[in-house]
Chains A and B, each alone.
Chain A
Amino acid sequence: MKKVLFMLFAVLSVLVLVGCKDEGVTELQMLWWSDGTEGDVMQTLLDDYLEETGITIELVPIAYNDYEARLATMISGEEAPALARVTEGHLNNFKTQILPLDDVYDTSGFTNLFYNADGDVISLPMDITANGLFVNLDLLDANGVNYPELGDPVWTWAEFETEMLKLKDKAGVTAPGLFDHQGHRFMPLLYQNGVKIWSTPYSASNLKSTAAVEVVQMMMDFYEEGFLPLDTYVTKNSASLFRTGQYGFHISGNWNVSGYQDLTFDWAVVPMPKMANRATILGGKSLAAFDGSGAEKEAKDFIAWMSEGAQHDAYTGGVPYLTPRLGATVNYGNFADQYAVFLDEIANTNEMYVQDWLNQVMIPGMYPLINQFVQDIADPNNTKTALQLLTDLETALKAAAPTS
């Protein structure tokens, strides 16, 4: 027995020494998550950076669901990463630990900037997200569904429903289409009907208006009539369902352009239906540098390098993503037609709606509240009316707002 134990100990000691040897390399770390090819594109840029400067930046992929917990633990444990990919929510939650970047890059060359309480820019915008309508051309064409292309008169939601209902109960079709259960995807509908969340930030809202009720009721009817499937309420994975080729449309966003590159059917992005107005919502991801990483200067140097046109355009064009760099001419390659539609949606969105949506940065927890509201709309067990759901949302938002 002792011999066996001794041999095991010897073998393990060797294995452990091999596995745990000190790397002996000083390097920065960049926390990251990926939905498509963005991690690969960033890695290519990091390789270029290493070649130019001799500085290694290690990309640390983390599952999105655990991203915030991991970042919080690292910061609490005084092991903050030098750099991290962040959302608006992360910027809101960690803005006191994020380094100001006013003197690091030319902020006037970018849109979708985020600020701390002192008015300093705290991140480098890396991409913009916008909502859009993906359609399965094979299914639509096979079933005689008409749809507008860029430049055609934009269809209304009523026209959209009439056309897409041609798919209902057809062979090979599970449901006419799919909708992501996210506030980001739902809010354009309110904006399209002229509803701003806040008429007077953060005390008076428009959420109980007739126009708002009309929009929520329309969505509730979509689910009740089977126009949108309830499967996504459970799976929350509309993109995977759209990939099966059994759904006519997917109301989602531009990030799926890279994710849908390997689909086995023909697809396209077409203009979203409108109500009184056209509107989409801008979102996006940024790059932030953290205080206490011990590599603050190196992190800022990288952000300065990344903000230069060549690198930034290589990222947004490589994924591809909508660029937040003003005046940039990004080559979207084979997806130029798809991106032209997203750019057209943005161009037709009134600035006041963009500002209304950006209020979420000032209200901790606003986005999760809206997400829950969108979930409730699709909840098969929901017994509340559209007005009751909107009233609940208004109450919750006012309670979370800074002036309350």
Chain B
Amino acid sequence: MKKMTVANYIIAGILVFIFLMPVIYIISSSFKPINELFSSTPTFFPIQWTLANYGAALSRGDFAQYIFNSFLVAISSTFIAVIINTMSGYALAKFRFKFDNVIMLVILSTIMLPLEVIMVPIFSVLKFFGLYNSLWALIIPPAATPTGIFLMRQYLLTIPDEIIQSARIDGASEGRIFFSIILPNAKPAIATLAIFSFMWRWNDYVWPLIAISSPRKYTLQLAIANFTGEFGTDYSSILAMSAISMIPMLIVFIIFQRQFVQGTVESGMKG
């Protein structure tokens, strides 16, 4: 048993190293001067540390505004996603109605459609509702996701029906059952969904590229991409801003990590 534990630690350690190495390399490279960044004999850590990349990147745009926009979109969209997906998942897990399984299949089948295929139709819908070039366009359409609904449904299936039936016998309304029984019991799945949703919205690039036209409404990812020109790419600035953009995701994960692991295991989801 002890040998097994040591082996597990070694395997886990190797996996941690493999997954963390690119992240650490990005962060360490963001402090390298350009001659070290493109050196033919690269080093893992800078020989000469510099903050110049951060200074240069921040001087090329209103990054305070971009970060604010990203936060606004990620938090709002996550909040709405949790409400909508939990309600949908609850309905599909605990209520039996005509075509319920067909509806679930239809929802899941939308995962097969890549955004690029439906880009122009969605753009037309956005325009129709007057959402084009509004941050609402980044918040509302991606809030209800098939993955989110599936995740919540799978988790809520594990909650015994008897608890809900007992509440009904005691006279609880459907709203009270949802808010007082379902939501507290679904905390791990909600934490998982919140992390995924925040990550999807925070890292989203293609959708904001289509839906936003004013630079004042750019998200951080859009702004970072602008360091790419026709004749070259400003990798120093990209590395610096990428390092900054990782911080919020790290904080969100640290806050929810315990529930995230539990929710992922119990809903059968993986990132």
A62 at the interface (CB under 8 A from B): yes
B200 at the interface (CB under 8 A from A): no
Chain B residues with CB under 8 Å of A19's CB are 68-69, 72, 135
Chain B residues with CB under 8 Å of A5's CB are 179
Neighbour of B228 across the interface among A12, A60, A65, CB < 8 A = A65
Are B123 and A73 within 8 A (Cβ)?
Answer: yes
Chain B residues with CB under 8 Å of A245's CB are 35
A182 to nearest B CB, angstroms? 8
Q: How far is A75 from B210 in the complex, measured between Cα atoms in Å?
A: 11
B15 to nearest A CB, angstroms? 27
Are B232 and A77 within 8 A (Cβ)?
Answer: no
Are B179 and A15 within 8 A (Cβ)?
Answer: no
How many chain B residues touch A (Cβ–Cβ < 8 Å)? 43
> Binary interface profile of A, 135-167, with partner B (CB < 8 Å = 1, else 0)?
000000000000000000000000000000000
A171 at the interface (CB under 8 A from B): no
A359 at the interface (CB under 8 A from B): no
B146 to nearest A CB, angstroms? 23
Interface on chain B toward A: helix, strand, loop, or mixed SS?
helix
List the B residue with the shortest CB-CB distance to A263: B34
> Binary interface profile of A, 42-70, with partner B (CB < 8 Å = 1, else 0)?
00000000000000001111111110011
Are B39 and A77 within 8 A (Cβ)?
Answer: no
A151 to nearest B CB, angstroms? 28
Chain B residues with CB under 8 Å of A81's CB are 213
List the B residue with the shortest CB-CB distance to A85: B230
Are B72 and A244 within 8 A (Cβ)?
Answer: no
Q: How far is A33 from B60 in the complex, measured between Cα atoms in Å?
A: 13
Are A35 and B120 within 8 A (Cβ)?
Answer: no
B235 at the interface (CB under 8 A from A): yes
Neighbour of B232 across the interface among A79, A87, A239, A246, CB < 8 A = A239
Are A241 and B183 within 8 A (Cβ)?
Answer: no
Are A15 and B184 within 8 A (Cβ)?
Answer: no
Q: How far is A256 from B184 in the complex, measured between Cα atoms in Å?
A: 59
Are A9 and B79 within 8 A (Cβ)?
Answer: yes
Are B229 and A64 within 8 A (Cβ)?
Answer: yes
Chain A residues with CB under 8 Å of B232's CB are 35, 237-240, 259
A77-B120, A77-B127, A79-B213 are known contacts. Are A20 and B134 too (CB-CB below 8 A)?
yes
> Binary interface profile of B, 29-53, with partner A (CB < 8 Å = 1, else 0)?
0000011011110000000000000
Q: How far is A12 from B227 in the complex, measured between Cα atoms in Å?
A: 31
Q: How far is A244 from B134 in the complex, measured between Cα atoms in Å?
A: 42
Neighbour of B136 across the interface among A20, A33, A74, CB < 8 A = A20
Chain A residues with CB under 8 Å of B183's CB are 1
A15-B76, A29-B213, A76-B123 are known contacts. Are A244 and B179 too (CB-CB below 8 A)?
no
Give the top 10 A-B pairs by smallest Cβ distance, nearest first.
A35-B229, A63-B225, A77-B123, A239-B232, A174-B40, A244-B35, A63-B228, A244-B38, A64-B230, A19-B72
